[in-house]
């Protein structure tokens, strides 16, 4: 089954502050197979920069991020 038809794991890190959303995301990414995607929900405004820098300095791709109210969402791809 193509990756885009599989359910994308969604992690809710609402209420956690830096660096916990990113640290917990890294643990989850380690368990994903190559080509896997993960979606994260967070409330820490600092997570925007954390995830952008993480993607720039790692092999993982930040495919997109967006904000809805006080929630921030990130979709990462493991190459």
Domains and CATH numbers, the chain: 3-77 (3.30.110.40)
Take residue 67 and report the two structure tokens written for it: 């904000």
- In this model, does residue 43 exceed pLDDT 90? yes
Tell me the whole-structure pTM to 2 decimals: 0.88
CA distance 5 to 16: 30
- In this model, does residue 66 exceed pLDDT 70? yes
The gap from C-alpha 4 to its chain's centroid, in whole angstroms, comes to 16
Q: Mind telling me the catalytic residues?
A: 18
| Residue 48: per-residue pLDDT | 96
Evaluate whether 42 touches 75 at the Cβ level (below 8 Å).
no
Q: 51-64 burial, b if ≥16 CB within 10 A, otherwise e? A: beebbeeeebebee
């Amino acid at each position: 089954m193509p990756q885009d038809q599989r359910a994308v794991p969604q992690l809710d890190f609402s209420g956690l502050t830096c660096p916990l959303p990113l640290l917990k995301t890294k643990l989850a990414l380690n368990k994903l197979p190559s080509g896997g995607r993960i979606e994260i929900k967070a409330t820490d405004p600092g997570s925007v920069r954390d995830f952008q820098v993480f993607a720039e300095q790692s092999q993982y791709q930040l495919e997109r991020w967006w904000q809805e109210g006080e929630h921030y969402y990130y979709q990462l791809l493991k190459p």
